Structure 1
Amino acid sequence: MPDHDPAIHLERFSETHVEGVAALYNDPAVTRQVLQMPFQSTEVWRQRLMADNERALKLVALHQGVVIGQLGLEAYSRVRRSHAGNLGMGVAVAWQGKGVGSKLLAAALDVADNWMNLHRVELSVYADNEAAIGLYRKFGFETEGLFRDYAVRDGQWVDTLSMARLRNRSNA
């Protein structure tokens, strides 16, 4: 499916998506690529939804009403960091490599640039997640550092890359 597949559409994360988002992140293959804990309840995601604020963008990607991806972008609240935000996302395994991540990122970066006025968008990604790293590079993210033994996954310590996209540098 191309990046512009009309069968995939984006919506703001709402109460109607809570069960789908919980199911997305409870898929063991998705859980192992993000910093979420396995077996999270829908109530955990409902609380995250309720913590919504103007400095946060929370999106879901849907196909025929089913959640196939989720993205969160939050601008930092500290005054000296208000030009920056942090991004995290997950895509259902069956939909990886089919434009869902690109569609979510394009929408989030449009909001970051044109509505939130963010100069810097940051993220962390497991150093062995080559597909995600390639996607982020496609959108102008650059590796800024390596965090060794950053998190535990499958009982092993894993490294994480710190990546960032500076608006007027890599995509002006």
Structure 2
Amino acid sequence: MKFEPKQITLKNAKTVFIRQAKVSDAEDLLNCVKIYIPTSKYIPKLENEIKLTVDQEKDWINSFIINDNSLLLVAEYEGKIIGNIDLTGSRRKIMEHTAVIGMGMLQEWQHIGLGTALLSMVIEWAKSNPILELIWLQVYTENESGLNLYRKMGFTENGIIKNFFKQNNRYFHILTMSLTV
């Protein structure tokens, strides 16, 4: 199912273009991810764990293009990818009506409406997708801005797994949230 590209103006008065990712975005998207993961407190991946090659990134992008219950969007400013959101539909028949959300963006683009815009567009797309019925995500319980965004968008809390992540001998709890579409 196609996604119609959109332009939005953020709180910083800059206009951002949001569109479906193309295989040709692989290198730029991978470079963006390599910048935002090390600066994020709430993406459970370490910098040295980013091992995808450009060809593997192309395959990953293509998986969103060929699977009808999945969507990968990129946000661009002046032709440069500044963030992305993915809705990964389950490949298992018994769960194909579900999809998990992942999102990230460069630090300077946080807290100005980009996350809200990306999430809104994914929800809108999921609601119009004849396969999807439930979308879900996981969030660190201490990520207040993320929790506020997800609650604002209608996600409900499903449960906490305590001590799910461990970094530098500190444990973090994770909350699963879902939205019926």
Structure 1 and Structure 2 fold alike (TM over 0.5): yes
TM-score, L = length of structure 1:
0.83
Residue aligning to 2:122: 108
Letter in 1 for 2:42: Q
**Aligned equivalent of 2:61, options 32, 35, 49:** 49
Letter in 2 for 1:35: P
Equivalent runs, 1:108-147 vs 2, <5 Å:
108-147=122-161
Q: Is contact 1:122-1:163 (8 Å) kept?
A: yes
Equivalent runs, 1:70-81 vs 2, <5 Å:
70-81=84-95
Whole-Å Cα distance in 1 between the matches of residues 144 and 61 of structure 2? 29
- Where structure 1 has 5 or more consecutive residues not aligned to the other structure, the ranges are 168-172
Q: Deviations over 1:53-101 (max 9, x none)?
A: 3232111111111111111102223333222211111121111111111
**Aligned equivalent of 1:29, options 29, 33, 39:** 39
Distance apart, 1:117 and its partner CA: 4.1
Q: Deviations over 1:10-32 (max 9, x none)?
A: 121223332332233323123x3
Percent identity over the alignment is 22
Q: Is contact 2:10-2:16 (8 Å) kept?
A: no
- Where structure 2 has 5 or more consecutive residues not aligned to the other structure, the ranges are 1-8
Say which SS state the counterpart of residue 47 (structure 2) adopts: coil
Q: Is contact 2:19-2:73 (8 Å) kept?
A: yes
Q: Is contact 2:96-2:131 (8 Å) kept?
A: no
Say which SS state the counterpart of residue 51 (structure 1) adopts: helix
Equivalent residue pairs, number: 166
Whole-Å Cα distance in 2 between the matches of residues 37 and 21 of structure 1? 17
| Runs of 4 or more consecutive aligned structure 1 residues displaced over 3 Å after TM superposition | none
Whole-Å Cα distance in 2 between the matches of residues 77 and 96 of structure 1? 31
Q: CA RMSD in A?
A: 2.3
Residue aligning to 2:74: 60
1:38 has 2:23 as partner: no
